[in-house]
Chains A and B, each alone.
Chain A
């Protein structure tokens, strides 16, 4: 294994789905169900059985809209406010209306959701205003249940192929170029429609531990979704609205205030005092976190040591078996007992992810991108605060719409020269006798991201970043060297990461205001609704560099009253609650 082989195969399918994590499998199932004759291919860099953010499972649905607890209108309003107003509500509203149907479908797959003694869904309040968090008692079975459905529906699964570029022609999508991660052989997939569900750009900033794969996101998600959309000419929205999360220091996994919050846990400063009213992740909340640290009251902690033994035991049971099961080992190694010590947290490195913020490939309420026949769903598509249920639901929308799209089209012709050029680009690091290994290119890019792009954002620093990135790009293009197919995968990822770093700097410089709390805190500028109440759309310019336009926010479906608009900026606890 891992020996570099020379080879290229071409296959055809009706719908190619790239990424078999969360959104991808649901897109595949929905498309196949709607048109059983369609040839649906689900392709993944890893193995669909255990790939993506939900590889080991999930603690719960972070944003379910359950009749009796919340209405689609309330949810749409909450997400609009959490996202500082910059939101095309149609996609959020459609999600809110239809996500309950998806929950019932997941339930029929054998994934259970918590119910109370009366058999009602046991939904918890974590958000600032409404009630949307639904625990999953057997959350560790999600991926297995999905995989069973994929087998049953006879979806063609292709594992261990990494998509590197989209193919386009006749003004629409034509397929994708993929590379085998263990042999470097090429696979060209011609498709009438392509659905992208490649997840977040999770390897953009460098974790403070210095460990390249010590990220919050599954590090398989290195951002190819963003880079491929960019090179194909699609529009990407609001990339300056970074993902930055409050995480367990060093472990870099979620502290899980969403689990612990409803049971009495909360985020506290070093004195054990609560300083934010709401633990739901938003840019505004992260700004308060940052301010607390700046004010000398840090570190910030997750506090559980005031809770009753049964409660702590229950929290442990959930947190140590499902999402990130090594969490228990981590705490044991540090000697942290939830009953005695608080859990040290920190501010994560940056990434792109609409699942938690809003930075993604621009899509509408059908998950259509700006390129006909090309869809995006999940963490890489710009529907804000999507999370897992958003990935499932928008994946479903993409699958359904793609079936209609392929009804009247044949394969788009593409330029064979594009495939040849991609082969040359991909294989370049294998043609040298020595040079810089991909891990050093990646480390340097990501270290520079931390140094110059991590908010608060400063113009001069971001401009310096652009200069440094150019130097690294020269090194990469002239001198990157790999010895086997595995390293070649990392080399391709390094180039993706550099593309994303360029986009992050460029998008952040374009929006000359502050927005979304810490996510786009530009110290030289205040929020400016007059000029910047709009999306920013990044595309690949004529010169091969990012170009930008403004795109108006579509008229709201659900009105937001003037005094509600800034609710997420009002979450600092005024009189600090004393530690219990």
Chain B
């Protein structure tokens, strides 16, 4: 029973230019109650937060607590 790769659009967007994950910031990852954000290393070796799991309560601690204003919480498409 192999697993499918179904695409899904995620509601939380991080502005890579503003994100300072490369300086060690993990605030949004730390505060998210659903634990759906992670830090990725981009192709050019830079680091940025991103939404890894489509399991968001659109609650906003990630956006409210980000020190640089890099996070935007949108509503999940299914209920928008």
Contact = CB atoms under 8 A, between A and B. Distances in A.
Interface stretch (B16-24, B29-37, B41-49): B29-37
Nearest to A160: B35
A490 B38 CA distance: 17
B78 to A, nearest CB: 4
- For the complex of A and B, list the 3 residue pairs with the smallest distance between their C-beta atoms, beginning with the closest: A209-B79, A50-B61, A46-B33
Given A210-B78, A214-B76, A219-B55, A1 B38 contact: yes
Interface in A130-160: 160
Contacts of B7: none
A324 B1 CA distance: 40
A390 interface: no
B79 A251 contact: yes
Interface of B: 1-3, 30-35, 38, 52-53, 55-61, 64-65, 73-76, 78-80
Contact of A329 (B3, B34, B56, B75): B75
Nearest to A44: B33
B1 A436 contact: yes
B74 A324 contact: no
A385 to B, nearest CB: 24
8 contacts: A50-B31, A50-B61, A50-B65, A210-B78, A211-B79, A218-B59, A219-B34, A329-B74
B79 A486 contact: no
B78 A49 contact: no
A182 B35 contact: yes
A489 B55 CA distance: 12
A50 to B, nearest CB: 4
Given A1-B38, A47-B33, A434-B3, A486 B59 contact: no
Interface residues of A, number: 41
Contacts of A220: 33-34
Contacts of B76: 209, 211, 213-214
The A interface, classified by DSSP as helix, strand, loop or mixed, is loop
A250 B59 contact: no
Interface of A: 1-2, 46-47, 49-52, 55-56, 160, 181-182, 207, 209-215, 218-220, 250-252, 324-326, 329-330, 333, 434-437, 479, 486, 489-490
Contacts of A437: 3
Contacts of B74: 329
Given A434-B3, A486-B53, A211 B35 contact: no
A214 to B, nearest CB: 5
Nearest to B35: A181
A252 B31 contact: no
Nearest to A250: B79
